[in-house]
Chain A
Amino acid sequence: MWLGLRAILIKDIVVELRARQVLPTMVVLGMLIVFILRMASESASAGAGAPVMGAAALWIAFLFSGLLAQERSFAAEQQNGCMDGLLLAPLDTGTIYLAKLLANIILLTIFEAVVVPLVLMAFHLRVVGWGRLAAVLLLGNLGISSVGTLFSAAVQLTRTRGALLSIVVLVLLMPMMIPASFALLVLFGALPERVIGSGSFAFVGSFQAAVAYMLAFDAIFTVASWLLFGVVVEE
């Protein structure tokens, strides 16, 4: 299993480094999103609205750039029947899923390394706890990648492809985006660690609960996607 997983992961990274198709497009799209939101929030940039816009810019950039990368990850396998080549190999389909998931996580992590400092600078944000920020971003990355990787494989069999992927993935990711936004707002100092009252953020309750929700989402969707991948790719 590990040899096959490593082989697919390394192959995906080498192919991306040579083709340079996904990462540059992700970075350009991410910068564009940050730039537009920065312009739109000009008046609020120095005030209390900056953390809100900064958190929104980060998650929107991750979501859309992530979708772009995931859509490409299986589209590349469709050329020359390469997907058949993977399915013919003596690997269980879960291994193929895990390798693709890891490749997507790595791409999104590189993207985050470029975009996070950009957002922090553009919106003049101060972070309360860098370690916690890294953990929240990693959990968000895993959630986006686990769902996106499964559906990018599924939509290869449909004609609507990218459009369908975006619709399904965005709907599925909604339960994670609420605690994810809450956590970033706490880390950017826009919300206290614990919120009491009504509304979606009060429903999350605290930073610890937000992280727990994200962990649960990631665990459920990663395992479910891993188990369902074989059904999805089988014609």
Chain B
Amino acid sequence: MTAQDELTGAALSIRAVSKTFVTKPVLRSIDLVVPAGEAVCLCGINGAGKSTLLRVIAGLLRPDSGSITIQGYELRREPEKSRRQLGMISHASMAYPELTVSENLAFAARLYDVPRRAERIEELLTSTGLTSYRHDRAGILSRGLLQRLAIARALLHRPAVLLADEPFTGLDAGATEDVRVIFDRFVRDGGTILMTTHDLRLGLQCCRRAAVLDRGVLILDARTEKIDAQRFLDDYLSYARSMS
């Protein structure tokens, strides 16, 4: 951990991260420091680089330059220790269709060597509302239930930082509220969230901080209480329309 991160208590520190796909720059010198216990909503139109940034932080993509530190562990130098601090919810559920809900969670628990596996799985089945689906194969679950399973899987090993790429996609109103409650509890317990969402209103409700990516550049990073939400939404929507 850098001295500055130590002073600020940063759970996630992104310094000058750039990434280019062939000749197209997707991330341009991104700097973002997120302290423990804070949720940040990452906004941007399609192709802005949001998902790429999350994949770079998760270690699934190698940045061309810059460094990422998670809970004091530098991702490139200590990849396994860094990844242990991370949970990720992506567009895909990461669930094996042939395994049941419980088996999928048990498999993930073994990968992360989670202590008291059975108890922890039980806890998450309850908190994500999957208890009655525990013996169902993931292949027959609806999109909403799969998303709940993805959330349970991401939180299973008690990560310090949760990366959530469009976590509310495919969820009905009730399920969205349930996920919000889970996220709130996670942040209250000291967890850090970096999430992307197209639902800006929901994003601003969930997070204390909003960051806007535009063509790979971080153009805004502000606390949500300092943002006039309605004006921000209006400006953002008119900008998104002008770009599409």
Task: List residues of chain A with CB under 8 Å of any chain B CB.
Answer: 3-4, 6-8, 11, 14-15, 18-19, 76, 79-82, 84-92, 234-235
Contact B108 A85 (CB under 8 A): yes
B3 contacts the other chain (CB 8 A): no
Answer yes or no: B40 CB below 8 A from chain A CBs.
Answer: no
- Chain B neighbourhood of A235, CB < 8 A: 55, 60-62
**Interface contact B80-A92, CB-CB below 8 Å:** yes
- Interface residues, chain B, CB within 8 Å of chain A? 55, 58-62, 79-81, 83-84, 86, 88, 90-99, 103, 107-108, 110-113, 138, 153
Q: Which residues of B contact A14 (CB under 8 A)?
A: 98-99, 103
Residues in A with CB closer than 8 Å to B108 are 85, 89
Known: A88-B88, A90-B81. A80 touches B96 (CB 8 A): yes
B104: min CB distance to chain A, Å:
9
Contact B60 A88, beta carbon cutoff 8 Å: yes
Residues of B within 8 A of A81 (CB): 90-94
> How long is the Cα–Cα vector from A64 to B148 in the complex, in angstroms?
40
B93 touches A7 (CB 8 A): no
Q: Which residues of A contact B62 (CB under 8 A)?
A: 234-235
In the complex, how many angstroms separate the beta carbon of A50 from the nearest chain B beta carbon? Answer: 42
* Interface-centre pick from A7, A88, A234 (highest chain B CB count, 10 A): A88
* A84 x B80 contact (CB < 8 A): no
Q: Are the C-beta atoms of A88 and B86 separated by less than 8 Å?
A: yes
Q: With A3-B110, A7-B107 as given contacts, are A90 and B80 in contact (CB-CB < 8 Å)?
A: yes
Q: What is the CB-to-nearest-CB distance from A228 to chain B, in angstroms, rounded to a whole number?
A: 16
Given A7-B107, A14-B99, A15-B98, A89 and B92 touching (CB < 8 A)? Answer: no
Structural contact, A89 and B111, CB atoms closer than 8 A:
yes
Between A and B, 12 residue pairs with Cβ closer than 8 Å are: A11-B107, A76-B96, A80-B96, A87-B60, A88-B58, A88-B60, A88-B88, A88-B94, A89-B108, A89-B111, A235-B55, A235-B61
A8 proximity list for chain B (CB < 8 A):
111
When distances are taken between beta carbons in the complex, the residues of chain A under 8 Å from B111 are 4, 7-8, 86, 89-91
Contacts of B60 in A (CB 8 A): 84, 87-88, 235
User: Please, which residue of chain B has its CB at the minimum distance from the CB of A16?
Assistant: B98
Give A68 Cβ to nearest chain B Cβ, in Å.
18
Q: Do A88 and B99 touch (CB < 8 A)?
A: no
CA–CA, A6 to B81, complex, Å?
Answer: 20
Of listed A8, A76, A89, residue having the most chain B CB within 10 A: A89
How far apart sit A8 and B99, CA to CA, in the bound complex (Å)? 13
Which chain A residues lie closer than 8 Å to B93 at the CB level? Answer: 80-81
Bound state CA distance, A87 and B93, in angstroms? 14
Whether the pair B98, A82 counts as a contact (CB closer than 8 A) is no
5 more A-B contacts (CB under 8 A) besides A8-B111, A80-B97? A4-B110, A80-B96, A84-B90, A84-B92, A90-B111
